[in-house]
Structure 1
Amino acid sequence: MDDSVKHTTAGTGTGSTDTVLIVVRGPSGAGKSSTAARIRSAYGRGLAIVGQDHLRRDVLRERDVPGGANIPLIGLVAQHALDAGFHTIVEGILDADRYGAMLADLVASHRGRSYLYYLDVGFEETVRRHATRPLSAEVSAEQMAGWYRPLDLLPGGVEHVISEDSTLDDTVTRILTDTALTPPGWTPRP
């Protein structure tokens, strides 16, 4: 069953009918970056990761604010990767209020298949996971509480919700299976 978000764009658009766009959203510490990295590791070359944290914090050194410069930059980098023929994962907290319009435009313009996932992880679990990351020395649980939005879904029911009970391996297997991005020799687990 193909439950990708489909859009038909005559002539112009982003990517091609062969490119796959994956969006992985969720709260801080939910496992978005780990999921994206593991998918690329399993798939191999030909898959780009567009990370919100990298573009916002490292490239622009910008706070996450409404109308921030990182929002269109994320969309632009994802479009470029898709246009260059890369399957593309956009990952980050990507707050629905701030990033929803950009993500909707990206999906609407994409000529290939698009899959959107939300990692639904409770606040206590995000804090536990965050404590295992180097960033925990810079970002406190109190700061994380200010960012946390429970079940911050995009409008229209376009996202597949993955619960905190899903292991990293299970999440990666599900996304690779859903998207049919199966590298040679890869076999999904039963």
Structure 2
Amino acid sequence: MIRGNSASGKSSVAAGLREKFGRNLAIVGQDNLRRLVLRERDRPGGANIGLIDLTARYALDSGFHVVVEGILSADRYGAMLHDLARAHRGVTRCFYLYVPYTETVLRHATKGDAEYRKRVTADHLRDWYREKDLLPDALETVVDAASTLDETVQQILRESGLDQVSPVDR
């Protein structure tokens, strides 16, 4: 699991993991399921919470390694994420990408989608920002903003054991 505030690098890290690992790595992205598939607002009890859980479990049961990534705020998604981690038969690792708010704004300004940058302002980012929104029980490893994309990808591969697993060409 990879969590963090907007513009913390979650999607880039997930893409980097897939690039380094290869096939047989499913990415279950909160934005994709919530915003694109369901076109749902992020709210308590939203349908996307169950869909994320169901999609991750299906991919795991089908033999994929799975990366669940998104903001996935602890208050709304925490119970589902705990249940998913507890039920998983293999290695489960959770990472929180910590980026201070000022760095979040700078990173947001570098996003390639100009329309998105116009729609989502620094005020939106401030409203959405949650300082170290960690899951309880020290479930997550905190990766700070000083870690480069490649360093973060390598850390996750190493700590999850995926650097020792051969991908399956599907």
**Which residue matches 1:141?**
122
**Which residue matches 2:150?**
169
Q: Are residues 1:48 and 2:26 paired? A: yes
Gaps of 5+ in 1: 1-22, 185-190
**Which residue matches 1:158?**
139
Q: Among all aligned residue pairs of Structure 1 and Structure 2, give the percentage whose two residues are the same amino acid.
A: 57
TM-score w.r.t. structure 1 length? Answer: 0.83
Q: d(CA) in 1 for partners of 2:129 and 2:15? A: 23
More helix by share: 2
- 4+ residue runs over 2 A deviation: none
| Cα deviation, residue 72, structure 1 | 0.7
Gaps of 5+ in 2: none
**Which residue matches 1:24?**
2
Matched positions, count: 162
| Cα deviation, residue 67, structure 1 | 0.6
Aligned partner letter, 1:74: I
1:67-89 per-position Cα deviation (integer Å, ceiling 9, x unaligned): 11101100000000000000000
TM-score w.r.t. structure 2 length? Answer: 0.93
| Cα deviation, residue 171, structure 1 | 0.3
Q: Are residues 1:132 and 2:110 paired? A: yes
Q: Cα RMSD over matched residues?
A: 0.9
**Which residue matches 1:5?**
none
Alignment map for 1:1-190 (pairs within 5 Å): 23-133=1-111, 134=113, 135-182=116-163
| Cα deviation, residue 132, structure 1 | 1.3
**Which residue matches 1:12?**
none
Q: d(CA) in 2 for partners of 1:119 and 1:26? A: 5
